[in-house]
Amino acid sequence: MKLVSFPEKRIALAFSDYLSSIGLPNHLEQNQDGFSLLIDNSDDIAQARLELDAFISSPQDNRYWQASWQSGHAQAEPVYPDAGTSTAMNWWHRGGKLTRAVALLCVVVFAGLNLMPTIFFEWLHYPSALTASAIGAQWWRLLTPAILHFSLMHIAFNLLWWWELGGLIERGQSALRLLGISVVIAMISNAAQGIQYGPNFGGLSGVIYGLLGYLWLYPIFNPAAGFRMRKEILWFMLGWLAIGYTGVLDVLFGPVSNVGHLSGLLAGMGLGVVIGLANRGQKTKDLSEQI
């Protein structure tokens, strides 16, 4: 009998292993939406539901992950739909339609900047003057600096993290949620950069740091989310932000907008707190429902 579905294999295994460790036989079945957990004995379903409620309330409790350690599943990596077909296909499925569309837009704009730099930059750069008339006539400039990239390394780094972090939000919550928080973060981080640099900046990294902040705090304030930001990703990105303030990255890669990164991170953290509290107790797609 089906109890719940998880999009991530690692989470599914943790709960499955815990149920097995307390004498509730079960098994996992992979499907298009992720991994369904089925209880082998119908007599166990009531207790399994109680255990599921406890898991939703505190998914990071050591007892769940200890069960995975004992079973040897603790190091299992997340598996996405159609896993096993090819590495490229697995990577493709990490991104949803919006994730892919934004990535494609960034690539097209990058190509345009290299072919017709003056035209593309003049059309997309941040407003030179933040007046009501200027913003009203060209409102898109408050957002479009996020899709401007000036080097191959710049766009490659940003799109890698956009695909991973943005794709996670789109798969686990919704494209509308990803769009909404990305627009808010872009406006805040672009404004911070505009104050410091004027119109001469661009890049998706402020939004990426915002998504990081959102994914970091959202599940803390809504434990029912059923996921946590991986510590190695969090520490890497925060470490990269800290190194940026030393000036080393400016020497190696050119000007780095530390204010854009920090403002984006803070904006995303704020959204994670507010939306997490608003959704507190709600199950996300990670735990059988889609927001």
Active site residue 261: yes
Q: Which member of 125, 149, 154, 261 is catalytic? A: 261
Alpha-carbon distances of 36 from 29, 117, 122, 193, 285, rounded to whole Å: 5, 50, 51, 45, 12
123 and 176 in a single domain? The answer is: yes
Mean pLDDT of 78-86: 39
Task: Determine contact, residues 161/213, Cβ cutoff 8 Å.
Answer: no
Mean pLDDT, rounded, for 137-158 = 91
179 shares its domain with 53:
no
106 plus 80 within the same structural domain: no
pLDDT of residue 229: 79
Structure tokens at 178: 């990803």
pLDDT score at 134? 67
Same domain, 168 and 243: yes
Q: How confident is the model at residue 69 (pLDDT cuts 50, 70, 90)?
A: low
Q: Which of 85, 110, 139 is the last residue of a domain?
A: 85
Rounded (10°) angle between helices 258-278 and 205-221: 30
Of 58, 85, 112, which one is at a domain's C-terminal end?
Answer: 85
CATH of the domain at 17: 3.30.70.2350
Please give the Cα distance from 50 to 39 (Å, whole number). Answer: 13
- Do residues 108 and 37 share a domain? no
pLDDT score at 226: 67
Please indicate, yes or no, whether residues 186 and 154 belong to a single structural domain of this protein: yes
Query: 149 with 32, same domain?
Result: no
Same domain, 64 and 121: no
Look up 205 and say whether it is catalytic: yes
- List the catalytic residue out of 5, 68, 182, 205: 205
Q: Does 138 share its domain with 200?
A: yes
Q: Which domain holds residue 29?
A: 2-85
List the beta bridge partners of residue 2: 38
Whole-model pTM: value is: 0.69
Instruction: Report whether pLDDT(85) > 60.
Output: no
* pLDDT score, position 248: 84
Higher pLDDT, 290 or 226: 226
- Domain boundary, last residue among 85, 102, 137: 85
Give the burial class of 197: count Cβ atoms within 10 A of its Cβ; 0-12 exposed, 13-18 middle, 19 or more buried: middle
Quick one: 182 and 277 in the same domain?
yes
Among 19-28, 31-40, 80-89, 207-216, the minimum mean pLDDT is found in 80-89
Q: Cα separation of 73 and 241, whole Å?
A: 33
Q: Which residue has the higher pLDDT, 102 or 225?
A: 102
As a whole number of angstroms, the distance between CA 220 and CA 228 comes to: 8
Between residues 156 and 5, the one the model is more confident about: 156
